[in-house]
Amino acid sequence: MKLKKTKTKQIIEQVEILEAAAEGNCIAKVDDLVVFVPYVVPQDVVDLEIYKKKKNFAQAKAIRFHSHSPLRTEPMCNHFGVCGGCKWQNMNYQSQLTYKQKQVRDNLERIAKADCSKMMSILPSAIQKEYRNKLEFTFSTKSWKQDYDKDAIDNGAFGFHVPGFFDKVLEIDYCALQSEPSNAIRNHLRDYCSKRSLPYYNIREHSGLMRNLIVRTSTTGDVMVIVVFAQRSEEIVPLLENLRENFPQITSLMYCINEKFNDTLGDQDIKCFAGKDHIEERMTSFDGKGELRFKIRPKTFYQTNSLQAEKLYHQAAEFAGITKDDIVYDLYTGCGTIANYVASLSKKVVGIEYVEDAVEDARLNSEFNNINNTTFFAGDMAKILTEEVIEQNGRPDVIITDPPRAGMAESVINQLLATKARKIVYISCNPATQARDLVLLQSKYAVGRIRPVDMFPHTQHVENIVELILK
């Protein structure tokens, strides 16, 4: 390993990449300095150019490869390294699983000091391509090009936001994350907009017409398309008619006129132009003898890997060990997928969620499946999960909690502890915040089985399930 310094650059030669790390980066060590490097693989030997340096760590990019790791594989996408997604697609899948499992163990042992002796092997995803049921694309007057020419005319782009640039979008020709007709619809819409000279959205000036495209698919074959416009226009109906005529496989064609400065649609009126106002997803029941059906509306949250979601819920239910006499509380229930999944196993399920629309979806899905032993509440978790509500609905024997990435508020954790439920099953998409919450939960609960689940192949993200048993 050799260090070279120039007036403008610091180059470190022949550095071995040691292991995968957070945010899709990998780690190298130079003396006592930890260096984070993207788009490399453990066991690569590279020259690094440091572009940011702090006291204890640095960030660098690989500028030359001396040898390639045996863990490498050919990226599945020609946008790899630019769009910012799927940062691990140059690493073979088995190695991805190994490092995800290590990520979970490291967080639980380091932060929570948890006993990981009952950790099970990570549950792999059955498919590693076209596993996402939802993708969102952006129209922008500002395009990102690797070979930038300041004098060239910028015709904008339709694709994904580039990390670090809120107004620049990378043109996407093909994305391997979602099945067809996702790519076909996006490319057709791009051509249509070009022929009609429809202006893309300018986020700085808040001008233009074309803003976003959302494509949702399901294992049933349903396809939902939501076109988001920045303003009203006579061009909207012809565009939607064109999509309807050219893509008869679209079962739910929706549109929205979002005149706000941000892209969130939670407070927007999404209208149905053609077809149903929802798509349908199906899931095999816990006992494998039946199936559950879920209506997914434009704003409904559903796990983005449908096939793996079924495995995730099955494992969570297995950890829960629910009996017919049990009252189950499902916290952060969303559209009630977990609540409805475990309803047949239990006496009663109480679902709590802060988003009112999601609770409405949960109730609809119970009705859709002829489930009559579920009750749902909407509101702040800390205000809903009270002794009064528990007295009215029964004390929980089992609690299943699946909070957002930020984890649970301390006040909610204290309320969980006060319930003295026999078991808590904690599902998390962020092992670090899960470990932080376990620090408090372990005052009354012992960590039992642990099962990481890979929901997002080719990314650093991992779900994890922890079984907590009342001491």
Which residues are known to be catalytic?
Answer: 429
Question: Crossing angle of helices 93-110/431-441, nearest 10°?
Answer: 30
Burial, 389: exposed, middle or buried (Cβ in 10 Å; 0-12, 13-18, 19+)?
middle
**Residue found by looking up tokens 């940011």 in the block:** 52
Write the DSSP string, 361-420.
Answer: HHHHHHHHTT--SEEEEES-HHHHSSHHHHHHH---SEEEE---TT---HHHHHHHHHHT
The structure tokens listed for 367 are: 């009705």
**Residue found by looking up tokens 């929706």 in the block:** 254
Q: Across the chain, which distance is largest between two alpha carbons, in Å?
A: 73
Task: Please name every residue paired with 292 in a beta bridge, in sequence order, or none if there are none.
Answer: 283
The structure tokens listed for 434 are: 């899960």
Buried residues in 125-147 as b, exposed as e (16+ CB within 10 A): beebeebbbbbebbbbbbbbeee
Write the DSSP string, 51-114.
Answer: EEE-SSEEEEEEEEEEE--TTB---S-TTTTTS---TTTTB-HHHHHHHHHHHHHHHHHHTS--
Pairing of strands 25-30, 33-38: antiparallel
Helix (H, G, I), strand (E, B) or coil at 191: helix
